[in-house]
Structure 1
């Protein structure tokens, strides 16, 4: 095993793999007009290509894997993808980010396939606001799926909420009521500018650090960052069963602890969510005998990873929206 490390000393044991760009929601901050397929674009990686890709990353020390989309549950073979991922030597954490529309129906088979962590997008606990944000009145069903995941003993259950000024940024009291007796982690995510949402970003961006200051004033205490943790700064409070995570990409030194790489649904390696180029790996996923070449190609690109993103300069890279790269 040759652990990946860049020129800034950061290691990358964490891969986020998109398995489809398709999403069945119309979230205002991502795909407000729904998903529309691009003509002439190759389809997502096959199960065989995914298996080879994961073997390559495992050779380079990847042990934490997150399956993303679009919405991964729109793939009919999602359970097979999870089973293949769980069987990859070295993978110890298999997570998925989902909008939760199939959670209550398919949780059992996903867990049987090896899923041991899940993040569910829940941008509001207010049913009407949730419907306005996502285009779907599904909050009750999704929260039922979350309850099922907790009851089933899924080791890690987290909820993601993108902060939107004037839409859901006054919901902290409601979330605190929820966290009092729900052992979940709620991650409040600062809205990020992407290639096609500038006007929306200007209207609705709110700094996540504002919320962070508020919870600290209420006695929430910061937790030490785990070596393989994601980007959230996590907090706990003795009076609550759940935890709070803050993802603030515009904060100072946000990228200093970066430990993850991304691969798009069509097999392009992205060194950063907001990077300005992709490296096509799909040609190296056609035969098992290409493993060494794949490992060499991935390792050879890590030196091109920048020290940080350039969001503060308005440079959003080549991703038109979050669904295109897996958030």
Structure 2
């Protein structure tokens, strides 16, 4: 069976992928972090992600069934060396099977770390259940603390629900609770200061993420976004920042030790995916809700594991296809290249 038969893009390297060992690419990067999208549906309509009317959601029969998803998770952990699994969407709390999937993942051996990225709506009711199922950590998306700005950015008046979700996550013992913020081009620098004060006060860890070209309308423009350097310059006007002493490793966020004028201390992370790309240290592989392996967030091609499963492929064939897909990973995402082309799928369909 050829790589093309397995669904691997025809541009794959001429040298074959290793048949065992770490999940490696031709540049020597080892993927140990799996991002799993459970659904492309979302209950917000963030302006930088999707249009006000939403998108055409995937049909139910296009989504991986529970048994198919757990099978792929088992292969990832037991055969490919995945040590961390993060569930994303769309909005993963929209998925009624979330707790069951978390529990099944926690039952794998060796047990991976299990994390979740969510907008926090509905989290207040489910945080304890998720912890009991085996969830280890959580990231909650929150771009502003101003109710009017929140409603404008998300097109929904749900800020109190997100704040309640944050409180519930902390009360359930998830630590640290991380807050992910994508800053509005107009008000974002003010929001960054307010968010950092809020997170220091409540014991959360703020992560500020540069806006990336992953919107459904393909309207992203670099000169309309806030860069990591602008964020840091602004924060230094209000806080004392010092580089974190812990090794960064493959973490996407550059961490800073932060102290406010009242002496409250904590950490803040800045994820400069566009202006200071960290592709050379990337350790991620991605599985979409419809069973496609993506070797990069910005990949233009995918490997269809759902088709292989439903055509009767055994675990060896699924493993080989996944290895070949990652072996073909490009050196970088290419956002800063003159010929960069945004992927067809928006973030909501790929998974964060």
- Whether TM-score is above 0.5 comes out as yes
Aligned equivalents of 2:265, 2:69: Cα separation in 1: 37
Aligned equivalents of 1:289, 1:270: Cα separation in 2: 19
**Any idea what SS the aligned residue of 1:187 has?**
strand
RMSD over aligned Cα atoms: 2.3
Structure whose CA Rg is larger: 2
Aligned equivalents of 1:109, 1:196: Cα separation in 2: 33
Please say if residues 212 and 220 of structure 2, whose CA atoms lie closer than 8 Å, have aligned partners that are also in contact: no
Q: Match of 2:15?
A: none
**Any idea what SS the aligned residue of 2:314 has?**
helix
Aligned equivalents of 1:107, 1:324: Cα separation in 2: 24
Q: Match of 1:221?
A: 242
Return closer, same or farther for 1:40/1:289 CA change in 2, 3 Å cut-off.
closer
Aligned equivalents of 1:34, 1:245: Cα separation in 2: 32
Residues 302-317 of structure 1 mapped to structure 2, 5 A cutoff = 302-313=326-337, 315-317=340-342
The C-alpha deviation readout for 1:161-203, integer Å capped at 9, x for no partner, is: 1022103232233123213322211111111123644435357
In the alignment of these two chains, the number of paired residues is 326
**Any idea what SS the aligned residue of 2:190 has?**
coil
- Alpha-carbon deviation of 1:100? 0.7
**Any idea what SS the aligned residue of 2:138 has?**
strand
Match of 2:275 among 251, 260, 264: 251
- Alpha-carbon deviation of 1:274? 0.6
Q: Is 1:267 the counterpart of 2:291 in the alignment?
A: yes
Q: Match of 1:128?
A: 148
Q: Is 1:45 the counterpart of 2:69 in the alignment?
A: no
Residues 83-232 of structure 1 mapped to structure 2, 5 A cutoff = 83-194=103-214, 196-201=216-221, 204-215=224-235, 218-223=239-244, 224-227=246-249, 229-232=250-253
Aligned equivalents of 1:211, 1:195: Cα separation in 2: 22
- Alpha-carbon deviation of 1:134? 0.7
Q: Match of 2:43?
A: 24
- Alpha-carbon deviation of 1:70? 0.4
Aligned equivalents of 2:216, 2:96: Cα separation in 1: 29
Return closer, same or farther for 1:278/1:317 CA change in 2, 3 Å cut-off.
farther
- Alpha-carbon deviation of 1:56? 1.3
Please say if residues 139 and 180 of structure 2, whose CA atoms lie closer than 8 Å, have aligned partners that are also in contact: yes
**Any idea what SS the aligned residue of 1:123 has?**
coil
Task: Note the residue ranges of structure 2 that are not aligned, 5 or more in a row.
Answer: 1-19
Q: Is 1:279 the counterpart of 2:303 in the alignment?
A: yes
Q: Match of 1:69?
A: 89
Aligned equivalents of 1:119, 1:39: Cα separation in 2: 25
Please say if residues 41 and 57 of structure 2, whose CA atoms lie closer than 8 Å, have aligned partners that are also in contact: no
Aligned equivalents of 1:34, 1:12: Cα separation in 2: 36
Q: Match of 2:75?
A: 56
Q: Is 1:2 the counterpart of 2:21 in the alignment?
A: yes
TM-score by structure 1 length? 0.91
TM-score by structure 2 length? 0.85
Task: Note the residue ranges of structure 1 that are not aligned, 5 or more in a row.
Answer: none
**Any idea what SS the aligned residue of 1:147 has?**
helix
